[in-house]
Amino acid sequence: MHDHGTYPLKDLNLKTTPKRVAILNLLAQESTYISPEEIWRKLKGQFSRVGLPTVYRNLEELAAGGIISKVIHPNRQLYYYFCPNRDHHHHFICVACRRVEDVDYCGMEDVERQVSERIGGRVLSHIVQVNGLCRSCSAKGGNGESTHVGVMK
């Protein structure tokens, strides 16, 4: 789907290993979020030996480095997604088909002001995720899996 381009793995003190690159390429091909085990199954088609811990380790490192993003899922399992958009933004995920789309919106400036002025605290990070049904899944009328994580009304 997208090309992940040349990522500064070096800047993150991550060696450019075949496994790591393959994981990144697999993610870049997907337009949906994916689990560590799914990545692992795909990797096994390319390498004779791959350990699941290697996949978990790499996904975590890539996410920590900001190259890929985590998806919050009600079943509490880990899912990751690679998004080529380097500007700050958030995602709309389809709970039925796992498709991920960009949401170019983030009101964190206002929130930070409010936290600073009214609460006296300091914002370190924030989580924003929009769950729903994409166009095609919405048309099919499917409900998908229920998504009740965080505050939702």
- Chain residues binding DNA by CB under 7 A are 10, 13-20, 35-37, 47, 49-54, 56-58, 60-61, 76-78
| Residue of 84, 26, 98 lying closest to 55 (CA atoms) | 26
Distance CA(104)–CA(23), nearest Å, equals 26
Candidate list 78, 96, 108, 115; residue touching Zn ion; CB under 5 A: 108
Helices 52-64/36-43 angle, 10° precision: 120
Whether the Cβ atoms of residue 122 and residue 107 lie closer than 8 Å to each other: no
Count Cβ neighbours within 10 Å for each residue of 47-82 and write b for 16 or more, e otherwise. Answer: eeebeeebbeebbebbeeeebbbbbbbeeeebbbbb
> Could you tell which of Zn ion, its own copies, DNA, none binds residue 120, using a CB distance below 5 to 8 A set by kind?
its own copies
Binding track, positions 19-58, relative to its own copies; x by CB under 8 A: ----------------------------------------
Nearest CB to its own copies, comparing residues 44 and 140: 140
Q: Which of residues 57-76 bind its own copies (CB under 8 A)?
A: 63-64, 66, 69-72, 76
| In the complex, least distance from residue 53 CB atom to its own copies, rounded to whole angstroms | 17
> Could you tell which of DNA, its own copies, Zn ion, none binds residue 4, using a CB distance below 5 to 8 A set by kind?
none
Whether the Cβ atoms of residue 130 and residue 90 lie closer than 8 Å to each other: yes
Piece in contact with Zn ion (CB under 5 A), picked from 4-12, 39-47, 57-65, 75-83 = 75-83
Q: How far apart are the first and last CA of the chain?
A: 34
Candidate list 106, 115, 132, 147; residue touching Zn ion; CB under 5 A: 106
Candidate list 14, 52, 132, 142; residue touching its own copies; CB under 8 A: 132
